A = this chain, B = another copy of it.
């Protein structure tokens, strides 16, 4: 990146550059690009979230590097970027979801929740005295309007999307998804597709121990983590298929 001509515009938080860009937001996106690779894909019967956690010290408790979070019974999220920022956003989302249950006596809509998070993020790009969140989220869930997948970035922009990736391996993931995404595929097949995308993103270095998968099932509106044993079966099958 060539710095000299932008000197000054990228230091203050809430200031436009002469060509109408918000550098702090763009730099926060760099924090996301250096993060773990996460994938979200809508299946015909639910939503699938996958992540390659990369870190695999035997001293780490497996749940410690959790990158897929349950927000509510029917909503999950996977993050890339600053982990402390991610936890703060996830906590906020969980509270928003609980408040909705208390106030309206029903689960929060997936889009309503995604918008709330984005509004909060936008505020951190316009007011002084704070920095933008250095975290992108994929939010997947099922409500009465079916399965949904949303992508947010540090600017607070929101995309309703069928399949996408964030983090360091995003480009590789998008290539796979653009080519092979099938919206009629069921959850099983969609997990396979997601793992293939992660396989490409990691240049084949995908391992059984670093993959985490969660689904929200359209049948029962429930978020659930895939158990490590089952993850192992999925990953092995992919490795066999692709490393030939």
- The interface of chain A, by Cβ under 8 A from chain B, is 1, 3, 5, 7-24, 27-34, 57-61, 63-65, 81-85, 87-88, 91, 115, 118-119, 121-134, 155-164, 174, 177-178, 181
Closest residue of B by beta carbon distance from A19: B30
Q: Which residues of B contact A159 (CB under 8 A)?
A: 60-61, 64-65
Contact A122–B84 (Cβ < 8 Å): yes
- Which residues does chain B contribute within 8 Å of A130, judged by CB atoms? 14, 126-128
Find chain B residues with CB under 8 A from A16 CB.
24, 27-28, 30-31, 131-132, 134
Assess whether A58 is in contact with B27, with CB atoms less than 8 Å apart.
no
Sample of 14 further A-B pairs with CB below 8 A, known A3-B18, A20-B81:
A1-B19, A10-B18, A14-B130, A16-B24, A16-B131, A20-B29, A58-B162, A59-B163, A61-B160, A84-B158, A88-B123, A126-B133, A128-B129, A129-B129
Q: Which residues of B contact A30 (CB under 8 A)?
A: 16, 18-20
* B29, B64, B132: the one within 8 Å of A161 (CB): B64
Measured in the bound complex, the distance between the Cα atoms of B15 and A31 in whole Å is: 12
List residues of chain B with CB within 8 A of the CB of A82. 22, 155, 157
For A162, give its contact among B14, B61, B122, B123 (CB under 8 Å): B61
B122 touches A85 (CB 8 A): yes
A140: min CB distance to chain B, Å: 13
The answer to whether B59 and A181 have CB atoms under 8 Å apart is yes
Residue among A20, A64, A85, A158 having the largest count of chain B Cβ atoms under 10 Å: A20
Cα–Cα, bound, A17→B24 (Å): 8
CB closest chain-B residue, reference A27: B16
CA distance A24 to B178 in the complex (A): 38
10 tightest CB-CB pairs across the interface, nearest first?
A20-B30, A20-B31, A64-B160, A84-B156, A16-B27, A14-B131, A84-B122, A61-B160, A128-B129, A83-B157
Complex CA gap A92/B11 in Å reads: 29
Q: How far is the CA of A159 from the CA of B61 in the complex (A)?
A: 8
Is the CB–CB distance between B128 and A128 below 8 Å? yes
- Is A34's CB under 8 angstroms from B20's CB? yes
Residues of B within 8 A of A60 (CB): 159-162
Contacts of A85 in B (CB 8 A): 122, 126
